[in-house]
Structure 1
Amino acid sequence: MTTSPESSGGATQSHKPACPTAEMGRWPASWEQEMQSTVNYLWHTDDLLGQGATASVYKARNKKSGELVAVKVFNTASYLRPREVQVREFEVLRKLNHQNIIKLFAVEEMGGSRQKVLVMEYCASGSLMSVLEGPENAFGLPEDEFLVVLRCVVAGMNHLRENGIVHRDIKPGNIMRLVGEEGQSIYKLTDFGAARELDDDEKFVSVYGTEEYLHPDMYERAVLRKPQQKAFGVAVDLWSIGVTLYHAATGSLPFVPFGGPRRNKEIMYRITTEKPAGAIAGTQRLENGPLEWSYTLPVTCQLSMGLQSQLVPILANILEVEQAKCWGFDQFFAETSDILQRVVVHVFSLPQAVVHHVYIHAHNTIAIFLEAVYKQTNVAPQHQEYLFEGHLCVLEPSLSAQHIAHTTASSPLTLFSMVSETPKGLAFRDPALDIPKFVPKVDLQADYNTAKGVLGAGYQALRLAQALLAGQELMLRGLHWFVNMAGVTEIQELKRAAELRSKLRTVSEAGLAEVLSRCSRNITETKMTLSNLSSELMKNRDQVHEDRSIQQIQCCLDKMYLIYKQFKKSRMRPGLGYNEEQIHKLDKVNFSHLAKRLLQVFQEERVQKYQASLVTHGKRMRVVHETRNHLRLVGCSVAACNTEAQGAQESLSKILDWLSHQLLQDRTKGAQASPPPTAPYPSPALKDLVLHMQELCKEMKVLASDLQDNNRVIEGLSRVPSAPDI
């Protein structure tokens, strides 16, 4: 059984300079003794990439072209296995051909020993394990990189299943990383020493794998050495994939007993077998303490809640110890493909001051998108209003989601809700809680581990500081856009109100004029409020742009990383001389001071300012909501004026029709018309009266039309106005 963290078909580059090819000159004598070769390839034994129970992997070169490859050299123990087991890896690799499976170039033999050598694709960027061991990934991969890992692992495993192959040793150390021509990560499955052909309904009884990633049934027999007659199926790979994906998402293993998996094997087995349905992680924090279960990913995870909501059910169903309850590969591929086929829409909720990642299919309707936003924000679709890059947008529910603009984390849709709430902001765990302490004495391995842990927390603080600063900017920018949108039509509104008052005085409608006069004053006050708020927001945005806390944290990290690299180098030595030890002690002191300074900047310059900005943002949002409610009342007053003006217009029209009829009778019959009903003007000759009434009727029509326009404008001020679809 493989127990080393790395036993892969390729790994990180060696620190030693590349060996020259044979054609470039003679090898140094000291190197010739350590060089090994086959007919077409050669390598130096110091260029070790990985080592397992039955083989070692080295970085090698083609003798003619100088091309870098990885060679897997089998040791004596490997030849003690049955012949069919020895050749199984060759046969499996020859059968496979996929971009997410390591390529087999040739099978050769070493000169004198006749040892078999697999010549494979070389991945200069190491394994997924080496990526996760970087301090910057101490709390898991960024969301974009995790999705690349998921896509590559799913594609590679799908190719294995199409060819009826079970891997039996899936882990981060057996997933190699290659950087593509465009700088993108490409992950490849490697190390097929334990692989064999197995159909979905077939079983096997032999045990392979690595402890932390091993299915509990296999763990019981291989690690605890307990006799049992269970046979295993292809589902064992799914368990290993579940542990690997959790590790990639969080930077930690899902099942951790007190003292660690390798030191407390019985509790490790208990955690995996007693895990409740739906739980995706289990921990024992105290010696002989209770087991604690987690049903969600930790808050330190970099994955968005939108992705987590899709991923957690998959983890829960493949990390299922009972094979009858565990998903099969068909369902696993269906559910993971569903995630990978979705597109992400970034939405910044102004009421909550939180960025949301909404995963939807491009063929979904916008109505489905609005419901997905509701699930994450609790803002009902009918209360959702959107801006994008300062422009208004209306999302028509019946249209395809493809009509939604392309968004990014820095350029999201800005969501405004008609329902007021207190902004909660970004939820996070204080990195200071995850910082270990140096031991007083000089312990090279312990000092390295501590420095790595502190540096990991420092990188987490940097990411959080960047997220807090970005959130502060999005709060100010989004609210500034919204306030400006609300103020676009204010001047036009005031002008219309003045014209309406003049017309109403002309027609002696003093009551309506007074109402509109009050509306005009209200709108003027609203304009002042919004103008002051806009100026305040611009001033705060300038202050955010001038913030230098990110640069200060980065500077501390750069200095800490140099000390960490020295500690990493020193841990491989048996000991230090006196002077070196004194320097090492000073480095520990400096490292601690830098970490303290980093946390101080994070807390005082970022966290405190962010929390203050949340309070201010909440107050401003309340002002905006109060303003909108006030404008709704103004709109009701104007609507009442509109109804009254329309009634007056209808009355005047009837009077005009009656007078016109009487005038026609005078002309045809010469008869004296009966006195008309009382009108707003004195009664001169009937002809003059009709002309006055026609002019009055025209004015009332214009008045009614203007009042309707006026009402629509005020309604627009009390909510985000309509705009073309985006």
Structure 2
Amino acid sequence: MQSTVNYLWHTDDLLGQGATASVYKARNKKSGELVAVKVFNAASYLRPREVQVREFDVLRKLNHQNIVKLFAVEETGGSRQKVLVMEYCSGGSLLSVLESPENAFGLPEEEFLVVLRCVVAGMNHLRENGVVHRDIKPGNIMRLRGEQGQSIYKLTDFGAARELDDEEKFVSVYGTEEYLHPDMYERAVLRKPQQKVFGVTVDLWSIGVTLYHAATGSLPFVPFGGPRRNKEIMFRITSEKPAGAIAGSQRRENGPLEWSYTFPITCRLSLGLQSQLVPILANILEVEQAKCWGFDQFFAETSDILQRVVVHVFSLPQAVLHHVYIHTHNTISIFLEAVYKQTNVAPQHQEYLFEGHLCILEPKLSAQQIAHTTASSPLTLFSVASEAPKGLAFKDPALDLPKFVPKVDVQADYSTAKSVLGAGYRALQLAQTLLAGQELMLRGLYWFVEMLQATCRRSLEVTRMALLFLSSSLGTESSVAGVPETQELKKTWELRSRLRTLAGVLSRCSCNITETQMKLSTLSTELAESRDQVHEDRSIQQIQCCVDKMQLIYKQFKKSRMRPGLGYNEEQIHKLDKVNFSHLAKRLLQVFQEECVQRYQTALATHGKQMSLAHEVRNHLRLVGCSVAACTTEAQEAQESLSKILDLLSHQLLQDRTKGAQASPPTAAADPVPEAEDLILHMQELCEGMKVLAFDLQDNNRIIERLSRGPPAPDA
């Protein structure tokens, strides 16, 4: 046990160790509060006095939620070694988070954004206080659990930090070699003499490497054999990196250098976020310090990302979930353009459903009008374009997996188990994503079909009411019997003939809509059955079970590698664990490939066929809409003709009455007025009915046009 006046710790409770100090978990002697104590060793006192006290001075100056707090500076009782008493972060470091097999391919998007927010906020506080850290890396970013369970990341280890303004330079070299700027690497690691001086932007290079590491689970610059085994190639990769590249590697010994301008396919971040991050990394991982962004631009661009909100959009034509990052002050027009960049569906062809309802997005309105979405409850995008769905692009986790060496080698066995378990977690994550994708495919298409069915029901109701009205109106020819043959009456007969033709067209439309309804009903039943099958899928539970068992063996291997050797019985158990681990991994990958992937591919092919059918139905509805549009025009013209005839008949009746009043009273049998009045009344009823009919048809046609809108006609 060791102690200061107020704190107590055991040397077994080691949290971390460096060249000049060790960090332990300690307790306050009075309150029992957990803290971290940094105890400096003898080597630390060989440094110049101003260097020794620099960390104390820097920490006293800083006070921010994303920087580890300094509580006190004390001394141990016997050796009087200096001790920094600091905030204890129970979640370990960002490096320990990334070292976990479940994050072998990087952090999930939500956690990455937390890291980005915390690192940017902490670095901003450093710059406001004129401090350069000089050793930014995942191991120096600590994780704390907030009161509500959220992650809070904090910068720590200010042993290399110093006060430095934006325009000042320094010549001393500090840092961890994988995260060093190439100019610093050349002098510190390769020991090559050079007269370069360094500024605050060296922290930006380290931040770029750290963010890439957090996003992918791997370092961005990797020579064959690894950064520490091939230092000359490591320097070549970082110093020769072309503009715009964010990663470089050498796949074989003495092989060529390969550059990447995007994140790897295994990255767990959405393409929407990746597209925002790549330009930032490209500009802070810049070799020439004069071309590298300054902190002001870095803070501006990262803050721009962090101030955006994500709108989840599931594209039915592609069968892909997209994350669209926009500002709340943007217009919906900007959102539609952002969707276009990710889906290639032009804004004028984008239609949306949300929770089963048609979602009308007016381009001029604020993006705040868009509903709150989640990955499981996104906006569903459909369009007039019919294409083969691409689905999720991914790399099979089984590719390039290492195998256990035949002999017992606890270090090699641990490394192999870690890699294989990482692939197992990746398979689990992909299986969950693929199953969620199937659910979104089926649910979105089901809603789309339901919407088409509702349109059919509405159209069928309107056409049947129109037919009922026309049949009742046109079936009473006796109502005009005894009326003298006039020009107006001939026009009436012609009009009645046109309305009979209109009734025939509407009758055919009604039959077509009924047939369409039957197709949609069959498709709807298929989708409902498929959704039931997805809900009954147990492949994820099988993979999870394998991963849990592999995790237990991995933890045992992790313990074993810390021991000097294994006894005979322990070695036999270790061998059995290797066999069991391999069997579990094989079973896990078999379930993933033969059940998850094959079912997803089958679902994708079926989705393509069902989407084609839905497009065919919608196009058929569009043709019906054209017929209804023609009927609408015909009904409007008929109503106008009726109005004119009615006006003429009313005028004629008025003239006949005037003449009859001036002449001698005719006989009752010769008086045509009652029959003419009946005709006018009948015509008035027909005219009013035609107005209602024309309005209903026009309204129905607008609905069909909105749902079956085609691409604009080409310019003449």
With normalisation by structure 2, the TM-score equals 0.93
Match of 1:227 among 168, 187, 193: 193
Contact 1:366 1:399 in 2 (8 A): yes
Q: Structure 1 residue 659: deviation in Å? A: 2.1
| Correspondence 1:310-325 to 2 at 5 A | 310-325=276-291
The worse-fitting range, judged by mean Cα deviation, of 340-349 and 394-403 is 394-403
Answer yes or no: is 1:531 the counterpart of 2:521. yes
For residue 108 of structure 1, give the secondary structure of its aligned residue in structure 2: strand
Contact 1:665 1:671 (C-alpha < 8 Å) held by counterparts: no
Aligned 1:166-177 pairs, distance under 5 A: 166-177=132-143
Shift of 1:690: 4.0
Q: CA deviation at 1:663?
A: 2.0
Between 79-88 and 385-394, the greater mean CA deviation after superposition: 385-394
Q: Which runs of 5+ in 2 are unaligned?
A: 475-495, 664-669, 710-716
Could you say which residue in structure 1 is the equivalent of 2:479?
Answer: none
Deviates more, 1:495-504 or 1:513-522: 495-504
Distance 1:650 1:310 in 2: 59
**Which residue of the partner structure matches residue 273 of structure 2?**
307
Q: d(CA) in 1 for partners of 2:318 and 2:65?
A: 43
CA distance in 2, matches of 1:558, 1:150: 30
After superposition, residues 561-580 of structure 1 pair within 5 angstroms as 561-580=551-570
Distance across 1 between alignment mates of 2:686 and 2:93: 81
Q: What are the superposed Cα offsets for residues 39-65 of structure 1, whole Å, 9 maximum, x if unpaired? A: 111111111111111111111111111
Q: Is 1:421 the counterpart of 2:397 in the alignment? A: no
Give the letter for the 2:612 counterpart. R
* One-letter amino acid of the counterpart of residue 94, structure 2: L
Preserved CA contact (<8 Å) 1:634 1:714 = no
| Cα pair 2:120 2:299 within 8 Å, conserved | yes
Q: Contact conserved, 2:469 with 2:689, CA < 8 A, in 1?
A: no
**Secondary structure at the residue paired with 1:266?**
helix
Q: Counterpart of 1:183 in 2: which secondary structure?
A: coil
Is the 8 Å Cα contact of residues 89 and 192 (structure 1) preserved in structure 2? Answer: yes
Distance in 2 (CA, whole Å) between partners of 1:178 and 1:323 is 34
Q: Contact 1:41/1:61 (CA < 8 Å) preserved in 2?
A: yes
Structure 1 segment 231-310 matched on structure 2, within 5 A: 231-310=197-276
CA distance in 2, matches of 1:463, 1:658: 78
* Distance in structure 2 (CA, Å) of the matches to 1:499 and 1:64: 86
Counterpart pick for 1:693 among 680, 695, 702 = 680
Q: What is the Cα deviation at residue 434 of structure 1?
A: 4.2
Q: Distance in 2 between matches of 1:498 and 1:186?
A: 64
Distance 1:163 1:230 in 2: 25
Is 70-79 or 506-515 further displaced after alignment? Answer: 506-515
Indicate whether 1:515 and 2:481 are aligned.
no
The one of 500, 522, 545 equivalent to 1:555 is 545
Report SS of the residue matched to 1:513: helix
- Give CA deviations for 1:365-396 in whole Å, capped at 9, x if unaligned: 11111111111111111111111111221111
Residue of structure 1 equivalent to 2:376: 410
Give the CA deviation at 1:642: 2.1
Partner letter of residue 589 of structure 1? V
Give the CA deviation at 1:696: 2.4
1:112-127 to 2 correspondence within 5 Å?
112-127=78-93
**Following superposition of structure 1 onto structure 2, how do residues 618-697 of structure 1 map, counting pairs within 5 Å?**
618-670=608-660, 685-697=672-684
Range 131-140 or range 499-508, more displaced = 499-508
The alignment partner of 1:405 has SS state of coil
C-alpha displacement at 1:574, in angstroms? 1.8
TM alignment of 1:2-81, pairs within 5 A: 35-81=1-47
Shift of 1:527: 0.5
How far apart are the structure 1 equivalents of 2:3 and 2:671?
A: 122
Count of residues in correspondence between the two structures: 679
Shift, 1:657, TM fit: 1.4
Structure-2 separation of matches of 1:39 and 1:253: 42
Q: Equivalents in 1 of 2:400, 2:49: separation in Å?
A: 50
Q: Could you say which residue in structure 2 is the equivalent of 1:131? A: 97
Measured after TM superposition, the shift of residue 651 of structure 1 is 2.2
Equivalent position to 1:218, from 150, 165, 184: 184
**SS of alignment partner, residue 433 of structure 1:** coil
| Paired amino acid for 1:358 | V
- Listed as ranges, the matches of 1:487-526 within 5 Å are 487-505=453-471, 506=474, 507-508=496-497, 509-526=499-516
Amino acid at match of 2:690: L
Check the 8 A contact 2:653/2:676 in 1, yes or no. no
Shift of 1:684: 8.5
Q: Distance in 2 between matches of 1:619 and 1:715?
A: 28
AA of the residue aligned to 1:504: L
Q: 1:583 aligns with which of 553, 573, 582?
A: 573
> What whole-Å deviation, never above 9, does each CA across 1:291-326 have from its counterpart, x for those lacking one?
000000011011000000000100000000100000
Query: How far does the alpha carbon of each residue in 1:169-216 deviate from its partner, in whole angstroms, 9 at most, with x for none?
Result: 000000000001100000000000000000000000000000000010
Following superposition, the deviation at residue 493 of structure 1 comes to 2.9
* AA of the residue aligned to 1:703: M
Q: State the secondary structure of the residue aligned to 2:312.
A: strand
CA distance in 2, matches of 1:485, 1:638: 19
* Aligned residue identity for 2:317: P
* 8 Å Cα contact 1:256-1:282 kept in structure 2: yes
Q: Percent identity?
A: 81
1:668-707 Cα offsets, whole Å, 9 max, x none, are 343899xxxxxxxxx9824422431342243244235324
Describe the superposition over 1:482-509 as per-residue Cα deviations: whole angstroms up to 9, x where unpaired. Answer: 1112212434432332332243341443
Q: Secondary structure at the match of 2:690?
A: helix
Q: Which of residues 472, 477, 480 in structure 1 aligns to 2:443?
A: 477
- Equivalent AA in structure 1 for residue 145 of structure 2: V
Q: How far is 1:114 from its partner?
A: 1.7
Deviations for 1:227-260, whole angstroms, at most 9, x for unmatched residues? 0000000000000000000000000000000000
Contact 2:142–2:155 (Cα < 8 Å) also in 1? yes
Check if 1:378 corresponds to 2:368. no
- Structure 1 position 184 matched with structure 2 position 150: yes
SS of 1:348's partner is strand
Q: Which one-letter code corresponds to 1:262 in the other structure?
A: R
1:492 to 1:379, Cα distance in 2 relative to 1, 3 A: closer
Q: Which residue of 2 aligns with 1:83?
A: 49
Cα distance in structure 1, aligned partners of 2:705 and 2:435? 30
With over 3 angstroms needed to count, the CA separation of the structure-2 counterparts of 1:203 and 1:697, relative to structure 1, is: same
What CA RMSD, in Å, does the superposition of the two structures yield over aligned residues?
1.7
Q: Distance in 2 between matches of 1:632 and 1:712?
A: 15
Aligned AA for 2:558?
Answer: K
Deviates more, 1:169-178 or 1:632-641: 632-641
Contact preservation (8 Å) 1:631, 1:714? no
Quick check: 436-445 or 497-506, which moved more? Answer: 497-506
Question: Is 1:100 the equivalent of 2:66?
Answer: yes
Give deviations 1:131-174, integer Å, cap 9, x for gaps: 00000000000000000000000000000000000000000000
The 5 Å alignment of 1:338-417 reads: 338-417=304-383
Report if the CA contact (8 A) 2:638-2:690 is conserved.
no
Could you say if the C-alpha distance between residues 94 and 660 of structure 1 is closer, same or farther in structure 2, counting changes exceeding 3 Å? same
Match of 1:706 among 686, 693, 710: 693
SS in 1 for 2:399: helix
Q: Is the 8 A contact 1:100 1:186 kept in 2?
A: yes
**What does the per-residue CA deviation read over 1:391-433, in whole Å, with 9 as the maximum and x for residues that have no partner?**
2211111111111111110011111112111110011000001
- Give 2:689's aligned amino acid: V
Structure 2 counterpart of 1:334: 300
Distance in 2, Cα, partners of 1:214 & 1:578: 45
Q: 1:671 to 1:164 in 2, by over 3 A?
A: same
Whichever residue aligns with residue 709 of structure 1, its letter is: D
Asked if the contact 2:618–2:707 (Cα under 8 Å) also holds between the matched residues in 1, the reply is no
1:461 to 395, 402, 427: 427
Change (3 A) 1:672 1:492: farther
Q: Give the counterpart letter for 1:702 in structure 2.
A: G
- The one-letter amino acid of 1:688's match is E
1:92 is paired with a residue whose SS is helix
